[in-house]
Amino acid sequence: MPRQPVAATKFYQQDIVQKASSNSYGIVLRCWHDAEDMPIPPAATLADPLMRPLRHGEVGVSWLTEGGRREILPESELHLLDRTLQPGDFCKRSVDDVQSGVVTDLRVRCRVEHVINKEPVEGWKTSSDIYCRSDAEIGDYVICDDWIGQVVELFDENIIEVPSGQLVRLPEFSSRLAVGEKSENILPPPGGVQHMIGFLFGHPSRSSGLETVIAVKHTVYAIAWLAINQRLDILEAQKRPRPARFWYGQEISKLTLLRGRADFQMRTGDRLNLKNNTGLPFTKHGQEGEAGGVVCVQSFSVTATETELSVLWQDGTKETLNARDVIPYLNPDEYDCWPGDHVIWSSEGVKRPAVVQAVDSAQRTAKVLFVDTKQIEMVSLLELDPHGASDLEPAQGGIDGLGVRRGDFVFIHNEGLTNGYEPPRVPKIGELESWVRENPFIGGMNQLSGWRKEMADLGTDIATRRGKDGVVEGQMKRPSENGPVDWIGEVFDLNLDGTVQILHPDNTVQTYPLERLTKLYDGIEQLEDEIYEGGNHMSSPYEEEETWAMNEDGEWVQQDHSDEWEEYEEYDDAVEFMDSMDSGDSVYRISGAGIPEDDPEYMSLDPILPPPSGSQTLKASSTEDIPTPNGDSSHTPREESEDDNMTDNSPNEEKKTSWKHFDILPQVPPDHAYYSTIPMQHSRSFLARLQREYHILSGSLPDSIIVRAFEDRADLLRCLIIGPQNTPYEDAPFVIDWMLDSNFPNSPPLAHFLSWTNGNGRVNPNLYEEGKVCLSILGTWAGDKNETWSASRSSLLQAFISIQGLVLVKEPWYCEPAYDKLRGTKEGAVNSRLYSEKAYVLSRNFVFRALDIPLGGLESEMKWLYYTNRRLEKVVSDARALIEKSKEASSSTTAEEDEVAIPRLTAGGIITLERTLTKLQGLLDAQSTTPKDV
């Protein structure tokens, strides 16, 4: 039974919401549809109520009006106040709208109140009313002596008013406090870390009651210097050594603060100062004559915002609308692009740079300006690469996709010079200094080490001296105060001729060709990339560590490892070995996505059958006219027996395969992915296990999978899997090369998928263009203990069947991590349909590739299946019928069509498919004129 449709999502991360029948407002931090692939430790669940697993329709909110209290509650109890988007973000009008837009600009107005006494200020305030801050926050860029750096850490000096009214100075790390915050435990408990915390202005006694933050000052900045002005010549650049790591006191005035457009926009909860303070509320704290003196607070907090967006839609239209009228586009299709984007058009092995002019998202076509001819043409989106992923050659260092995006910070090269790369590729530079990655603690969580300890000592010393002889900090300059800065800027807009508009720090906008730009590699982004790459590490099942997996309810649970992994045992025969395996381990999860057991496509293994008897096919006069797949093979022909399943031409009888499912060939073919690897010396246990694997394969492979082993390389195999019926992969050949390393069977086999997409994207989320097969049993995706490879419980047969049953499925989009939860949603249905069309069109080209360039060890099998058994005619006939049906006027599908993997094609899908059909028809025509073997 298909799942019932669920209600559309109402809220997204960073939404500003209000609780029904309440004045409380807060910010959404978690949603049920978020891609959360990391487990939540039990300790965090107890400490933070926001961290429990979410059910459908729930969100996690941090209440800004309640001191940051966090709560999970149903969407039905919330009202949307404003939606947070930035220039460069993608959006849609609704989840089922196929057209999307990109935010090109925004304007925010806000209401404010005094941070402490909560007295409101009348009217809406805009950015023109706000006093631009001159202090930097973590992540902000700063400039010094032609270098651009990024603030990676702060040391603060806070002034806290205790319940008695006395003022206390509190030095500490990382800007955790904001003016106006009130709590009973702002000050650390007695016995805290003394080298980080100092109480000045006397020694107040601790008493119960609210403590209030009345001032926050950044006293020490830790800055990582990323890159130097690219307009300097080499000799001049050598005169500019990296600036200092720590900045404090009057030295701060040598820095220039560089802020982007997004930094000037107000958000609910922000603290700010107004340019005109006349008649506005303020508060006084402290007493004259006391150490702290009197502190006057005239700061305000943002209580409400209203955001107006400028949106460029894919069709080229522009619109100004309220942010609440759109939703974030969280899962863009890999072919999505927008006017002004730089892309690569790829077809028939030819690649050409182009600039998108407009996109028809419903039909998946685009008008593009070809850079080489300056001509505008209509093309299929399936032939466009917006990300630079089509270049499978090793990427040059620093490459980060194609073109630039709005909001990127870029360096500008001198006129007449370029970034050194062939457009539309753009390099990125920015070297994060190694000291930033140092471990902050030694010997426990309370003992700072390295540069953080040095920074804490500096900050504490400054606070101490301020209490004695006074210390005065300098203020960072604004770009306008330091002369024009024309060597760096923010991408403001993308022009349809391929040029780029850059907003310079002095607020001037200049236009540059793409080749004069180099992207700045953000230091915080570098750290996130390193964490992400480290997260892909596949831990060994033999390591003694905690492992977690998501159960059927979407909850992260710790796996039980009380029982030790079974050691591999040598069984007397294959039957005993198979019987020893847990039947529940016959299939394995891919990329963490589960397949519902009631899904009719679950583990569907289809036999190889010829077309229906009514199809127009090339018919042989008798079975003697049909060559066996071994007849022209490079390996030794086998003798046919009475038990062989030979092809029959009886019109109403089921046809069965005429090939040998498992065979051992004399030599490994040169086109094998692991052909160049060094052969290993095989142990006795390896050979014994291999013999049993061969025994299993020789008698248990389904009709649609064949496997070839090799006498000269016992560690290599090649398998052919035919795409199951009623999937986007129907009738297409999928070839995977395998290698058993020296640790087999204690480690899983290595797999390399032969991708024939010609750089037009993955044919499946788990089958990468570079050959990776993402499957838990292969150790390329993190699964629980029962899903990973086990020497005693796993087999090669299970790996092969898992690929066919769990990878080559009817709706492959849901194989992406965390997408399975979107089954039954409109968003899931739209994305799944687009992905399945792409998978179908690309896999038709697999048929051509397998026949055009014969595969070593599979030549006769391909010829038998697609020519003798007439499967090629079926592929062409089915594709043409689908094209004709797709061209019909009606855009709606019937109930019967909804059960079909590919009910209709878009115009873009038809354009690409027709190119492939022309090639396939050429093969058919050539075959019809070739004399048949007798």
pLDDT of residue 627: 33
> Which of 223-232, 427-436, 451-460, 752-761 has maximum average pLDDT?
223-232
Cα separation, 244 vs 255, in Å, equals: 11
Q: What is the CATH number of domain 8-83?
A: 2.30.30.140
Return the pLDDT at 444: 58
Alpha helices per DSSP H over 625-765: 684-700
Look up residue 122 and give its two tokens. 């009348």
- The confidence band for 527, taking pLDDT boundaries of 50, 70 and 90, is confident
The pLDDT score that the predictor gives to residue 331 is 84
- Name the band, by pLDDT with cuts 50, 70 and 90, for residue 648: very low
Mean pLDDT: which of 366-370, 458-462, 476-480 is highest?
Answer: 366-370
User: How confident is the model over 98-117, as a mean pLDDT?
Assistant: 95
pLDDT at 372 over 60: yes
Q: In one letter, which amino acid is 520?
A: L
Q: 662-889+897-928: what fold?
A: Ubiquitin Conjugating Enzyme (3.10.110)
Tell me what pLDDT residue 137 has. 92
Gap between the terminal Cα atoms of the chain = 51
| Band (198; pLDDT cuts 50, 70, 90) | very low
pLDDT of the residue at 605: 38
User: Could you tell me the two tokens for 718?
Assistant: 């090649």
The residue ranking higher by pLDDT, 624 or 821, is: 821
Q: Which of 109-118, 607-616, 796-805 shows the lowest per-residue confidence on average (mean pLDDT)? A: 607-616
Please report, for the chain, the start and end positions of each structural domain, with discontinuous segments joined by +.
8-83, 662-889+897-928
User: Taking 70 as the threshold, does the pLDDT of residue 617 lie above it?
Assistant: no
Percent of the chain with pLDDT over 90: 57
Q: How far is CA 654 from CA 119, 563, 608, 814, in A?
A: 83, 48, 10, 33
666: DSSP letter:
S
Interior CA angle at 525 toward 524 and 527, to 5°?
Answer: 65
Q: Do domains 8-83 and 662-889+897-928 have the same CATH topology?
A: no
Q: Which of 401-410, 615-624, 641-650 has the lowest mean pLDDT?
A: 615-624
Identify whether the C-beta of residue 604 lies closer than 8 Å to the C-beta of residue 805. Answer: yes
Task: Tell me the pLDDT tens digit for each residue of 401-424.
Answer: 799 999 999 999 999 999 999 999
Rounded mean pLDDT, 759-773: 91
**Average predicted confidence (pLDDT) for the chain:** 82
Question: What is the tens place of the pLDDT at every residue in 912-934?
Answer: 999 999 999 999 999 877 665 53
pLDDT tens figures, 453-470: 999 999 988 888 876 666
Q: Which of 788-797, 870-879, 902-911 has the lowest mean pLDDT?
A: 788-797
In this predicted structure, the answer to whether residue 259 has a pLDDT above a threshold of 70 is yes
Compare 792 and 323 and report the one with higher pLDDT: 323
Closest of 489, 521, 408, 480 to residue 256, by C-alpha: 480
Residue 223: pLDDT band (50, 70, 90) is very high
The arithmetic mean of pLDDT across residues 482-506, rounded, is 93
For 693-749, what is each residue's pLDDT tens digit? Answer: 999 999 899 989 999 999 999 999 999 999 999 999 999 999 999 999 988 999 999
Residue 396 pLDDT more than 50? no
* Res 161: pLDDT: 92
Closest CA to 822 of 32, 25, 176: 32
Measured in residues, the chain has a length of 934
Q: Which residue has the tokens 């630039």?
A: 404
Range of weakest confidence among 389-393, 416-420, 636-640: 636-640
Is 31 part of the annotated catalytic residue set?
A: no
Angle formed at CA 776 by CA 773 and CA 778, multiple of 5 degrees: 55
Q: In whole angstroms, what is the distance from residue 304 CA to residue 313 CA?
A: 28
- pLDDT greater than 90 at residue 611: no
d(CA 869, CA 866): 6
pLDDT of residue 893: 62
How many CB atoms within 10 Å of residue 722?
24
Instruction: Look at 125-134, 139-148, 608-617, 797-806 and tell me which has the smallest mean pLDDT.
Output: 608-617
Of 31, 337, 774, 815, the catalytic one is 774
Q: Are 527 and 226 in contact (CB under 8 A)?
A: no
- Whether 170 shows a pLDDT value over 80: the answer reads yes
- Phi then psi dihedrals of residue 405, to 5 deg: -120, 155
Task: Please state whether beta strands 517-520 and 409-412 pair in parallel, antiparallel, or not at all (unpaired).
Answer: antiparallel
Q: Provide the 3-class DSSP secondary structure of residue 26.
A: strand
3-state secondary structure 536-598: CCCCCCCCCCCCEEECCCCCEEECCCCCCCCCCCCCCCHHHHHHHCCHHHCCCCECCECCCCC
Query: Which two structure tokens, joined as six digits, stand for 589?
Result: 């999860």
Average pLDDT over residues 663-684: 93
Residue 31: other Cβ atoms inside 10 A: 20
Residue 274 clears pLDDT 70, i.e. is over it: yes
pLDDT of amino acid 681: 86
216-227 average pLDDT score: 95
pLDDT of residue 651: 34
Confidence of residue 541 (pLDDT cuts 50, 70, 90): very low
Q: Which of 887, 921, 917 is nearest to 905 (CA)?
A: 887
H or E segment and range at residue 498: none
- Strands (E) in 84-234, as ranges, are 90-92, 101-114, 141-144, 147-161, 167-173, 182-183, 211-228
Instruction: Look at residue 463 in the predicted model and tell me its pLDDT.
Output: 86
**Model pLDDT, residue 625:** 33
547-568 pLDDT, tens digit per residue, is 444 444 444 444 443 443 344 4
**pLDDT at 593 (0 to 100):** 37
Least confident residue range of 53-67, 264-278, 310-324, 396-410 = 396-410
Which whole-number Å values give the CA distances from 368 to 91, 101, 383, 575, in the listed order? Answer: 22, 17, 12, 60
Residue 64 has pLDDT above 60, yes or no: yes
CB-based contact 565:790 (threshold 8 Å) = yes
Q: For position 801, what pLDDT does the model report? A: 93
At residue 912, the pLDDT reads 94
